[in-house]
Structure 1
Amino acid sequence: MPMDVSPSCRAAGPPLAPPGAIRLLFRHLRARALPGLLLLCAALACAGCVRGPGSLAPDPTRPAAERIIHDVPFFAQEQYQCGPASLAGVLRHLGLTGAQATPDGIAEAIFRPGMHGTLSLDLALYPRTLGLSSRWYDGSVADLMAAVDSGQPRIVMVDHGYGLVSTYHFMVVVGYAPDAVIVNSDRTPLQRLPWASFLRTWDRTDRWTLEVRRQEPAPAPAP
């Protein structure tokens, strides 16, 4: 299936993740066509402190079987709302109800009209306003497989852009197979994306991954 992102859904701006954020911000600035001299200066300044493409740790294995989390609700991603739609599916999977766990309710809180999208930082922090735990990090195939095995969907950001232009997109990983990662994305649930194609676009965001969980109960005080 085609891997280019639907024009009706995009993530706004570079992913604000701990490692690799500077390189992604620079790529985002290039996509906005800043003057060439400024870009050259920024590139020289950052050359010694960012990772180049392909420098992420390799994934030594691929799954030998297929696993799917079948009870993750799916919301078709409307115009510019891939982030809220992805997060809504995960929140519903965790048992949240009401408008705060719908694409429209989430978008009302974090969608940025001027950017025609949702910032990854806003998406990552929103669950905390609902009393949930969230963390974003550089993921791996092994991590995605472990999450699926434990029944925990993960939100990932990929970059479907080309060359100097980035087009960020959120999707929910709900399964895996020997030949594909299985995601809820755009307007189709349980899409199968070949590993090579998926990893190529995921690598462009330093494999940005979002985990959302319920808060662990506080330990009981010692008697």
Structure 2
Amino acid sequence: MTSALIQRLHTRLLSGVLFVLIVAVMQGCAYAPQVKQLQQNGWDNLSIAKAVELTDVPFFPQQKYQCGPAALATVLNYNNINVEPEELRAKVYVPKRQGSFQIEMIAATRQYGKLPYPLDPSLEDLLREVDAGNPVLVLQNLAFENMPQWHFAVVVGYDLNRSEIILRSATSKRWTTSLSNFEQTWRKSNYWALVVTDADKVPPTATVSKWLAAGLDLEKIKRYQQAQQSYRAATRNWPLQDKPWLALSNLFYKQKRYQDASAVLKQALSNIKDSAELWNNYAYLLKHEGCYQSAQQAAACALQLKADDKNIIATWQEMQQLDLSGSKSCEAIQCDR
């Protein structure tokens, strides 16, 4: 989006009937359903500060068509990545479309070793992230649905008493607008929002499935250190769920770090006894270590939990074929259901 057009939208009042029409549309409750619902429920129910502003978030004034690089530079620099918008331009700017797309913004974030976490389409989640100290990258449509003017900005604050939100946007370091007007422009992007964070720092609104998916995306581009950090963080954040432990162990297994993989599952099983998947994978690692009898016992634990699962049955059958005469003397396995 051109900086000139954004500046006009930000600083000039439209005149006559057109101005009245646009204000009526943008302030209509039907176009800000989340704001309306949160107001009806009462801001106090959010359990966040009434007003927050992250004043130390840097600011990069946008050049022509460069809202994407400027916004991404803002959140990356806040996360200790020293990069200028011009450097990011080659990574995220699409000349034919005179702009940037979400997929390029996410991919570039990973290239700099950070974890891009997409928020749920929730104003409450956005406010909670800002309250926790995380600026939020958002995509807005500052015009109409059939004549879109897409624009990336960064939410850095809010004031619930005034029903306002604060953004780094275009050439404005501190652009304030009503929550209703913001939602109306944000809604047109299906409430797209992104938190950029260190891989070992789980955002407060994160869910285990989405966090692990973000870690897997790092793993796919061979950012193994960051992937490991994200999985390890997940085991701390959700210690009684098996999926984070499985993800971390699987990563070690792919890297042929078998002892590390085994140690992860052993630690997980000390607290999670009812996961057939943990027992199943542990059986294979015990087999790899030459602990054949223990592998059979682990497979039996898995089978007790999921007797109808084809994969579990196959594992148990495979372990039954092991020649116990060649087994090492290892710790006995007890399911302790």
Higher helix share: 2
Secondary structure (helix, strand or coil) at the match of 1:189 reads strand
Larger CA deviation: 80-89 vs 208-217: 208-217
For residue 82 of structure 1, what is the aligned residue in structure 2?
67
Equivalences for residues 69-148 of structure 1 within 5 A: 69-97=54-82, 101-148=83-130
- Per the normalisation by structure 2, the TM-score is 0.47
1:122 Cα shift?
0.6
**CA RMSD between the two structures:** 2.7
Task: Considering Cα pairs closer than 8 Å and 6+ residues apart, tell me whether 1 or 2 has the greater RCO.
Answer: 1
Distance 1:5 1:196 in 2: 24
Distance 1:119 1:181, change over 3 A: same
Distance 2:134 2:169 in 1: 16
Equivalences for residues 1-223 of structure 1 within 5 A: 6-7=3-4, 58-59=37-38, 60-62=41-43, 65-97=50-82, 101-178=83-160, 179-216=163-200, 217=229, 219=232, 221=260, 222=263
1:185 Cα shift?
0.3
Distance 1:134 1:115 in 2: 23
Bigger CA radius of gyration: 2
1:109 Cα shift?
1.7
Distance 1:87 1:61 in 2: 33
CA deviation map 1:174-201 (0-9, x unaligned): 0000220110001111211111111111
For residue 47 of structure 1, what is the aligned residue in structure 2?
none
Distance 2:99 2:56 in 1: 27
Higher strand share: 1
Which runs of 5 or more structure 1 residues have no equivalent in the other structure?
A: 10-52
CA deviation map 1:12-34 (0-9, x unaligned): xxxxxxxxxxxxxxxxxxxxxxx
Q: Letter of the aligned partner of 1:82 in structure 2?
A: C
Contact map agreement 1:132 1:214 (CA 8 A) in 2: yes
Q: Letter of the aligned partner of 1:81 in structure 2?
A: Q
For residue 16 of structure 1, what is the aligned residue in structure 2?
none
Distance 1:70 1:111 in 2: 27
CA deviation map 1:83-117 (0-9, x unaligned): 110110111100112xxx21000112221111111
Contact map agreement 1:56 1:206 (CA 8 A) in 2: no
Q: Letter of the aligned partner of 1:207 in structure 2?
A: Y
Which runs of 5 or more structure 2 residues have no equivalent in the other structure?
A: 7-30, 201-228, 233-247, 249-259, 265-337
1:130 Cα shift?
1.4
